[in-house]
Amino acid sequence: MRRDLLLVEWWDHSSSSAWQSEHEVRESAVTPLLVRSVGWIVAETRKQIALAARISDDSELGLGNVQMIMKAAIKSRRALRRAR
């Protein structure tokens, strides 16, 4: 199966279980983190995309490090190449 290899820039979500002041929460909420992920598209819907960082020829366990990214968080995406 042929898959697109993508570079995706997206705004990461975060959370914290630590106790914080309201001021600390407001300060940390001002600067979202822009991340870059590279992977092969293994699934895509209207709302999200699934990227696998590793693929193999094993039909049952052929995908590794699969990441689901919400499309609303994507800043940009660029095809790098196609895989077999």
**Could you give the number of structural domains in the chain?**
1
Q: Picking from 36-45, 61-70, 74-83, which range would have the lowest pLDDT averaged per residue?
A: 74-83
**Domain coverage including residue 55:** 3-83
C-alpha–C-alpha distance, residues 57 and 26, integer Å: 47
Find the mean pLDDT for residues 59-79: 91
- In which band, very low, low, confident or very high, does the pLDDT at 1 lie, cut at 50, 70 and 90? low
Residue 48 has a pLDDT of 97
Q: Residue 29 pLDDT > 90, yes or no?
A: no
Residue 65 Rama label (left phi>0; alpha psi -120 to 50; beta)? left
Residue that is written with structure tokens 């820039």 in the block = 9
Q: How many CB atoms are located within 10 Å of the residue 9 CB?
A: 14
Structure token pair of residue 13: 């979500």
pLDDT of residue 30: 65
**pTM of this structure:** 0.75
Distance CA 82, CA 48 (A): 20
